[in-house]
Amino acid sequence: MSELTATTELGGLPTFLALDTVSVLDGTRRGASVQIDETYLDGQRTAIETIDAESRFERRLRSVDRTREIYDEVDIDIASFTEENLWDASRRYRELLQRLPETQYLKRAFPETCFVVPEWIRSPSEVTYGPRVYFFREDDAPDPESIIEANIEAVLEDTREAFDRYRGRLHGYPDCCLERFSSADRESDLGPEEASVEPIADYIDDDRLAAGPDPTVSITEIVSGLFETPDAYAFFVREFFPEPGCETARRRGIEVYETLSEVVSETLVQDHFRMNAGWNYVLARSLREVDPGRPAPGLLGREHLFSYLPLSVTSSLPRYREE
């Protein structure tokens, strides 16, 4: 893929997703995905409001808001968690998700296979749900029903780990890290997420993070010196938690880094890796808190906001114009 085809073929996708899907189209990874949740929708809105002084993106904003409205109204009621009820709820919910303006937007913006599926997450106290949009090459896309089936099976058998591994493989994460992650002893002091970000913790400025989102701060002030460690490359996608020091994860990441550097400016590639590392760091740390969650839009600096804008817009920002 050349620079021109990346920005024309994937230019409409939010930048972080466009970059994630370059390695899918190139065959480095099988698939990519994003959850359409509050963090995602807030990110779209905040990013557009920050840069769009001339209201060029008004239609886009309306579509994000409409998605939010529908998303907030959804209330799936399942009488009891039987296979039949879960399938029934999945079908009804999926129909609705396919009509979300954001789902349709992403589908139009991706040249190969893109679909949405409901995702059920079982925790000890409840089952929560939300939409996840997947991106695959046409010739290597699984059937959406098979993803739902694996998910339902995990809910019924209460085996979240098996579904995590299945989903990790769909995304082309190294098997060794997936095995290690799902067999980790969660009772120990350091959970697998925290252990995963240990090797990069020294490169992240906790004081800056504690100060909250500030669009005048650059990600390089929050995540600095990251590429001094080869571990940086293991963070090739957000929410994949590499096993500390894993050579396979680093190699996969270097492949992704090189593929991306051929199609967009290297500064953008580096910011993408900084973002992934910072994102995982914040998420891992938050797991100790009462209300764990993903980093608020802009928490990782202004480039964090840029990552929500379409690639065609981001790649033309002064910071990313070919150096």
* Interface contacts to Zn ion, rule CB under 5 A: 174, 176-177, 243, 246, 248-249
The C-alpha angle 125, 130, 133, rounded to 5 degrees, equals 145
- Measured from the CB atom, the residue of 5 and 248 that comes closer to Zn ion is 248
- Measured from the CB atom, the residue of 134 and 241 that comes closer to Zn ion is 241
Cα 281 to Cα 269: distance, rounded to the nearest angstrom: 18
Beta strand 127-136 with 113-122 is: antiparallel
3-state secondary structure of 31: strand
- C-beta of 166: minimal distance to Zn ion in Å? 17
Q: In the complex, which residue's CB is closest to Zn ion?
A: 246
- C-beta of 181: minimal distance to Zn ion in Å? 9
The C-alpha angle 120, 126, 132, rounded to 5 degrees, equals 20
- Measured from the CB atom, the residue of 95 and 175 that comes closer to Zn ion is 175
- C-beta of 38: minimal distance to Zn ion in Å? 31
- C-beta of 173: minimal distance to Zn ion in Å? 8
For the beta sheet containing 31-35, the strands, ordered from the edge strand earlier in sequence to the opposite edge, are: 31-35, 127-136, 113-122
Cα 305 to Cα 67: distance, rounded to the nearest angstrom: 19
- C-beta of 174: minimal distance to Zn ion in Å? 4
- C-beta of 248: minimal distance to Zn ion in Å? 5
Under 8 Å CB-to-CB from 9, ≥6 apart: which residues?
1, 25, 111
3-state secondary structure of 288: coil
Cβ atoms < 10 Å from Cβ of 207 = 7
- Measured from the CB atom, the residue of 105 and 240 that comes closer to Zn ion is 240
- Measured from the CB atom, the residue of 101 and 174 that comes closer to Zn ion is 174
- Measured from the CB atom, the residue of 196 and 307 that comes closer to Zn ion is 196
- C-beta of 251: minimal distance to Zn ion in Å? 10
Phi, psi of 228 (to 5 degrees): -70, -20
Cα 298 to Cα 219: distance, rounded to the nearest angstrom: 9
